[in-house]
Amino acid sequence: MREFSEIIKARDWENPLVTSSLSRLAAHAPLCAYPDVQSAVSKAPSPNQQSLNGSWQFQLFAKPEAVPEAFIQPHFDDADWLTIAVPSNWQLQPNVADNPIYTNIQYPFPDNPPYVPQANPTGCYRTSFVLPPAWQQRQVRINFDGVNSAFHLWCNGCWVGYAQDSRVAAEFDLTEFVQAGENRLAVMVLRWSDGSYLEDQDMWWLSGIFRDVTLLSKPQLHIADVEIQADLDAIYQNGQLVVKTRLNQNSELTKVRLQLFNGEQSLLDITHSIAQQAAVDEKGGYQDRIQQIADVPQVQPWSAEIPHLYRCVISLLDHNNKLLDCEAYDIGFRKVEIKQGQLLLNGKPLLIRGVNRHEHHPERGHALTLEDMRQDIILLKQNNFNAVRCAHYPNHPAWYELCDQYGLYVVDEANLETHGQFPMQRLSNDPSWLNAYLERVVRMVERDKNHVSIIIWSLGNESGIGNNHHAMYQWLKQRDPSRPVQYEGGGSMTAATDIICPMYARVEQDQFFAAEAVSKWAIKKAISMPGEQRPLILCEYAHAMGNSVGNFAQYWQAFRQYPRLQGGFIWDWVDQGLTKFDQEGNPYWAYGGDFGDQINDRQFCINGLLFPDRTLHPAMHEVKKAQQFFQFKLAKAEQGYELTVTSEYQFKTVKDCFLHWKLSANGFPIRFNYSGLNLPPQGSQTIRIPLDIHLLPDTLYLIDVEVVLNQTQTWAENGFSLAKQQFVLPEVIALSEPPLQPSALPHFVEDEAQLTVQQPHFQLVFDKKSGLLSSWRKNGAEQLVQPLRNNFYRAPLDNDIGTSEAHHADPNAWISRWQQSGLWSLTEKCLAFKLEPLSDCLQICVQHGYYHQEQLLLKSQWLYRITAQGELDLAVQVEVADGLPSLPRVGVELALVNSDSRVKWFGRGPHENYPDRKDAAHIGQYDLSQFELHTNYIFPSENGLRCDVRELTVAELNVTGSFNFAVSRFSQANLAEARHTCDLVAGPCLYVRLDGFHMGVGGDDSWTPSVHREYQLSQRQYHYQLNFAL
């Protein structure tokens, strides 16, 4: 037995050669030790398992050397210790003096592998359990599903073992240490270990026992591991089942019984004795492994579309057929292949609708419950995802069971990333770290090998490329030839990957980075390289940081056009914000630096499609639309239209859906109907939409179509929307304009300072010196708090900021370009103010110049036309000086007297949308509160825009034209200066921003200017018109 002092002196946590850990059992598929076959089939809780989750005693010490040796003893007095929940992360528990740290790349400690800081927070845990009497003659094991980052274990004062690799199971044999009655466990967990150098994974650095702890009792002779291969034959109809059962010791008198169930129906029941099946190994002894092979005719293949599962039960029997041990697994029959440059499942090419997912909860950190996981699964299915990449580590074991059950394709990724190394492949080429690399992929594969949802193994993330990766790849290809392997490091096209899997590669544009040895080719170019026949699936794309995910539809156009471009995984699923409270007790979501972590990468952990509480970002609507499994085409037909709907499902026949269609005029429904769908895989159906009305001129007619469920699924209710499309019908143009009716001019009074336009129900006041409309009264009540003026600014998005920091500006970032050009420090001057009464209106022409250091950068001309009936037409022309970067926006802003009135508009909605992210925002009539218009991004920024608007009503303001708008309680200055939502202070007014033009948000990534040229505002002249009803 190792003495405590010896352990402290040995510093196993600074030795990369301690890879198999110490006394940890070999990795294997999960075991339950069912007492009988019936329990195994029904998944009844096994009496041979005991959860140790719950309240443990806990104390945090500054370093392992500060831990009292006596804490391992059974009778140590821990009454004054804290009580902590297991599983949990100790940094998120009250009264624990250790902080969360977020970094993206840089290690939060000196980079000197394998050594870690002397100040190494060390959490000591203690708990007890009572050994069931029935377990006393059996083997007793303890399993830790996840501990960060390394730990030593004692039982009843005796050292049991040591483990690291925080994301795979660490299992120990307690048999020789347990006793009848009460038993005491002590666990010493270190925050930092040499394993931390391999776990630099763009997430919060959190510590502790954060996954389940379970006791397992097995008979002395038992099933030690089961490997199940459920393949399909060459025509993908019949199953080929191979089950390899490993025992913990040789016993020629025992038998292995294999049963296969489809629900409660038994499909297979075969028994083989060990003596019949055992092969002789190279030493002349019998292997403790039996292989059973069976054909299963006419199986229902598994896919994410039809996730049909069978139950496979393996029983160990003695020579009298008495059951000794029993294990069971959900399995699915499927075949994964790469043929002719495409990834195939059951012979059909896949289109990966994927996302990268970190395990994250805003209060519990990395300690997720089964319901947390189920919630994510349901949201994935509801938003048309069919795949998930476990970024960047093996997930909780229950996650894969849910993916099997609900139907998701999984990339299972080894717990390996060395992003902070320089060069990145430093450890990847170091032979002393080879076993550490191999151990991480081996333990992942051995734990997860039986999950049908896992279709790809990944060697890890962002660790460069080195000999250690090639060794991992070769081991994987030999161990499991049934699945392809992917790895992006080294340029995504190395010999260590079966799939070209770049991150953030553009569709059309190559990227060249001085720090990168290999250029990042456009995805279209990558698949056209001579001799290259691998499929391309982006391991990361569409960086969803804040107000982002522009240009997304372009990727999906390419995926559908080019067969070898087979989709990708968005970065990423959920904002990794942690709940914190300001001084007034208001909650907000914190990011890097908010816990005193001086080494941090600020909000680069806030790049999800969901907020931490799993409410949707507006961009999710765009993602769902682009990834939908139905495509629509509308064609003119006699007396109406023909709508063709095509299914993109590869395996599923669509019978559980209705297609709804609606004809509207200026957003108001005038006709609607629905049809049942009966679509074979990849099939089409045509539906007639009659058009039995007279189309009126100058009216926008729209046909909206939607596919909805007509049956409740495990992941959505009856009536849930799966796909939608909107078609704009050709407008009927009036043959001639109606003649203008002569009218009196509005009354006006002009002096040197101002111009007042006065009518019985409205009054306008223009300040002639500033040239601004400074007052608007309606029925005697003032409407304006701030004048109507040009607006060329937006509160910077994360994508505008890029990698700029307070102390370091990225010269390529949009924010730097705008600042350097002077666009953010403009001086406004009124150049001309001219009144001209016309026959039917007052015309006012105002010119403004916008200067930076006496240089004219922008010039605008506003042409007002005001009628006595209360119509104000504003024609705006803006001239832009040569050499300026793309403008953020070209529009106007005014501030209305605050009110609780709702906002109504006819345009795109209802959710926030931007010029490069608006496909999912259909044109219609919408009515929302001003609070619902605001998107509360964790890092505040420009938000809430609605595009292609024809009419807007806010309180007494009514505007028509063709424009984009945003209504907000927050000033642009407040949005720009705020760092958290709690920094936002609602002003005394309602800000209304009306844009003739608005730059896109970008989103191919967040560290290069990613707004595509067609969505930039780089013209030299802009014209738009707004019409106000006074």
Q: In this structure, are residues 965 and 787 in contact, taking their beta carbons and an 8 Å threshold?
A: no
Say yes or no to pLDDT of 403 above 90.
yes
Q: How many residues does the chain have?
A: 1030
Compute the average pLDDT of residues 737-752. Answer: 80
Helix (H) or strand (E) holding 623: helix 619-627
Say yes or no to pLDDT of 985 above 60.
yes
Check 462, 488, 942, 956 and give the catalytic one. 462
Q: List % helix, strand, coil for the chain (3-state, nearest 5).
A: 15, 40, 45
Q: What is the pLDDT, as a whole number, of residue 669?
A: 96
Compute the average pLDDT of residues 32-58. Answer: 98
Q: In this structure, are residues 412 and 444 in contact, taking their beta carbons and an 8 Å threshold?
A: yes
Q: How many CA atoms lie within 13 A of 451 on its CB side?
A: 33
492 — pLDDT class (breaks 50, 70, 90)? confident
Summarize pLDDT for 860-892 with one digit per residue, the tens: 999 999 999 999 999 999 999 999 999 999 999
For residue 403, give the 3-state DSSP assignment: helix
The dihedral over CA atoms of 629, 634, 637, 642, expressed in degrees to the nearest 10, equals: 20
Say yes or no to pLDDT of 517 above 60.
no
Check 540, 893, 912, 951 and give the catalytic one. 540
In this prediction the pTM is: 0.96
Q: Which CATH superfamily is domain 351-625 in?
A: Glycosidases (3.20.20.80)
253 — pLDDT class (breaks 50, 70, 90)? confident
| Annotation: CATH topology of 628-728 | Immunoglobulin-like (2.60.40)
Mean pLDDT value across the chain: 95
182 contacts: CB under 8 Å, gap ≥ 6: 128, 129, 130
For residue 597, give the 3-state DSSP assignment: coil
Q: Is 942 exposed, middle or buried (0-12, 13-18, 19+ CB in 10 A)?
A: buried
Q: 């509005």: which residue's tokens?
A: 746
Q: In this structure, are residues 412 and 393 in contact, taking their beta carbons and an 8 Å threshold?
A: no
628-728: same fold as 223-336? Answer: yes
Q: In this structure, are residues 143 and 48 in contact, taking their beta carbons and an 8 Å threshold?
A: no
Tokens matching residue 319: 């020579």
Say yes or no to pLDDT of 284 above 60.
no
Summarize pLDDT for 184-211 with one digit per residue, the tens: 999 999 999 999 999 999 999 999 999 9
Compute the average pLDDT of residues 568-580. Answer: 98
- Is the bond preceding residue 87 a cis peptide, omega within 30 degrees? yes
Give how far Cα 193 sits from Cα of 18, 68, 104, 366, Å: 11, 20, 18, 18
Q: What is the pLDDT, as a whole number, of residue 734?
A: 72
Give the integer Cα–Cα distance in Å for 573 and 390.
11
Give domain limits for the chain.
Answer: 4-218, 223-336, 351-625, 628-728, 747-1029
Tokens matching residue 646: 């095509």
Give the integer Cα–Cα distance in Å for 165 and 21.
9
| Amino acid, res. 800 | D
Least confident segment among 432-436, 880-884, 897-901: 897-901
CA 284 to chain centroid, in Å, comes to 53
Q: CATH for 223-336?
A: 2.60.40.10
Is 540 a residue of the active site?
yes
The angle, 0 to 180 degrees and rounded to 10, between the axes of the packed helices 434-448 and 467-479 is 30
Q: In this structure, are residues 533 and 341 in contact, taking their beta carbons and an 8 Å threshold?
A: yes
Compute the average pLDDT of residues 941-961. Answer: 98
Summarize pLDDT for 357-393 with one digit per residue, the tens: 999 999 999 999 999 999 999 999 999 999 999 999 9
Q: Which CATH superfamily is domain 4-218 in?
A: Galactose-binding domain-like (2.60.120.260)
Is 747-1029 CATH 2.60.120.260?
Answer: no
Is 731 a residue of the active site?
no
Percent of the chain predicted with pLDDT > 70: 97
